[in-house]
A = this chain, B = another copy of it.
Amino acid sequence: MTTEQSRNEEGIAKAVGILKQRFGEYAQTGLSIREQHGHTTTWLENQPPDIVVFPGSTAEVSEAVSIAAEHGVPVIPFGVGTSLEGHVNAPLGGVCLDLSRMDKVLAVHPEDLDCVVQPGITRKQLNEELRATGLFFPIDPGADATMGGMAATRASGTNAVRYGTMKDNILSLEVVLPDGRVIRTGQRARKSSAGYDLTRLFIGSEGTLGIITEITLKLHGIPEAMSSATCSFPTVDAACQAVIATIQMGVPVARIELLDALQVRAVNAYSKLTLPETPLLLLEFHGSAASVEEQAATFGEIAEDAGGTGFAWTVSPEERTRLWQARHDAYWAALGLRPGAKGISTDVCVPISRLADCVNATQARLTELGLEAPIVGHVGDGNFHTLLLIDMENPEEIATADAFVGWLNELAISMEGTCTGEHGIGQGKAKYLGKEIGEATEVLGAIKTAIDPQAIMNPGKII
């Protein structure tokens, strides 16, 4: 389905009719529900699907996909709609599959540290259900996203520095292919050298190769102890040097977050804090009681060497919450800088040696353009977000911000980095993918065509 292609009106009409008959109340065509399922958090326009189907099982997903395939109609999977790059938009219309009814934990294997879930379960629901087992699923992208959505965008978040991303925490997938066939990408063993890594191919494929209907997740033991620490730094460079030294020392940091001076100022105002308005690092350590003390102390020494001030750490849960308040409140505090503005997030990720350069250049450019955008970073991975505060009624400002996003993505790519550390390509970043991976985009296209020859799966995303 090339960008030149238009809506397949005839196919859509037929498929919608069949789906309504087949799925009854679980097939909805009202405008508001369709618009809600084309929800975007960017300046991209809302492009609703023609029908929203709520399948209750893999068999029903397969059936709905088969009906769409037979009529050459697009299929767009939907979790809870927290994606940031227009992933759930339906530029050519078609069938949205809302997977919220498929939200069960199908099995927990405590001895194997894994579980099998349906794609519609959210991160918080899952951890609630796991509570009695002493195990947890660590990946935390901020939003209470679904496991299916997180798998489809290769999500990560604040503790990827310790636990990796979705690609590192999935053992296998069940997937409904574009023609309705159901496959399993692998077994439940912890590792395998059996053929091409289909599991990783579908993770991050954003619904463009098939619909994920079951996920076997790795779990981790809830740490015996946790400690938290914070430290202010005179410059972003000094903070980054402390991060690099900490990681080089092999300190197994669980989270290491950076707030820039503007973000600290925002949090001071919003949460009535009195932090020095300079770059701030926030850390969390997981392990035994003795090791989390040792880790925090080691970081304290490194931070002091790097010019850090106000180093504080604690193991008490209440104190930990207080120390991390600046991070927990970051998003709403940032919006508070400019009431009424919309927050649009960038997502570049660069080698950590280039992080300070990239952040400094970003701040300078924002000042030059007159844009207000505090910065929060998962600095252990070299990934940071500028939250552009935009007046959506002002087309000129949107154009300036859009140009800034392009400039930043290209800067990160020139530093051997990526335009997206964790949000995915979607519609919004499709134009940067070629700049990032060059001729490899042709291999992506060949794979897409091989698996989805009709190009009905989530058209207009990635490719």
Please give the residue numbers on chain A whose beta carbons come within 8 Å of chain B beta carbons, in ascending order.
Answer: 109-114, 134, 153-156, 160, 164-165, 167-168, 177, 181-198, 200-201, 203-205, 209, 220-221, 223-224, 244, 247-250, 252, 287-288, 290-291, 294, 298, 347, 349-353, 381-383, 412-413, 416-425, 429, 433, 436-444, 446-447, 449-451, 462
Contact = CB atoms under 8 A, between A and B. Distances in A.
A421 B195 contact: no
User: In the complex this chain forms, how many copies of it are found?
Assistant: 2
Nearest to A432: B194
Contacts of A442: 181, 183
Nearest to A216: B416
B156 A191 contact: yes
A221 B249 CA distance: 6
Contacts of A353: 109, 111-112
B421 A191 contact: yes
A357 B372 CA distance: 61
Contacts of A288: 291, 294, 298
B177 A443 contact: yes
A443 B248 CA distance: 40
B195 A444 contact: yes
Contact of A112 (B111, B351, B447): B351
B200 A440 contact: no
Nearest to A298: B288
A203 to B, nearest CB: 7
Residue of A187, A353, A381, A443 with highest tally of chain B CB at under 10 A = A443
B191 A165 contact: yes
B193 A154 contact: yes
Contact of A250 (B224, B247, B433, B451): B224
A192 B418 CA distance: 6
27 contacts: A109-B353, A111-B353, A112-B353, A167-B197, A181-B442, A183-B439, A183-B443, A184-B438, A188-B416, A189-B349, A189-B350, A189-B351, A189-B382, A190-B352, A191-B381, A191-B383, A193-B204, A193-B347, A194-B436, A195-B433, A196-B205, A196-B462, A197-B197, A197-B200, A198-B444, A291-B294, A447-B451
Contacts of A156: 191
A1 B250 CA distance: 48
A447 B244 contact: no
A177 B439 CA distance: 11
A118 to B, nearest CB: 18
B194 A420 contact: yes
Contact of A197 (B192, B201, B349): B201
A417 B189 contact: yes
Nearest to A161: B190
Contacts of A249: 221, 224
A412 B194 CA distance: 13
Given A193-B425, A195-B425, 15 more contacts: A111-B352, A112-B353, A154-B192, A183-B437, A185-B437, A185-B440, A186-B437, A187-B416, A190-B383, A191-B421, A193-B424, A194-B419, A195-B437, A252-B252, A288-B294
Contact of A290 (B221, B290, B440): B290
A437 B351 contact: no
Given A416-B187, A418-B189, A451 B443 contact: yes
B438 A186 contact: no
B382 A190 contact: yes
Given A200-B197, A250-B223, A446-B451, A349 B191 contact: yes
A294 B64 CA distance: 55
A449 B196 CA distance: 13
Contact of A194 (B168, B203, B437, B451): B437
A18 B196 CA distance: 33
A164 B190 CA distance: 10
Nearest to A186: B437
A446 B440 contact: no
A361 B441 CA distance: 48
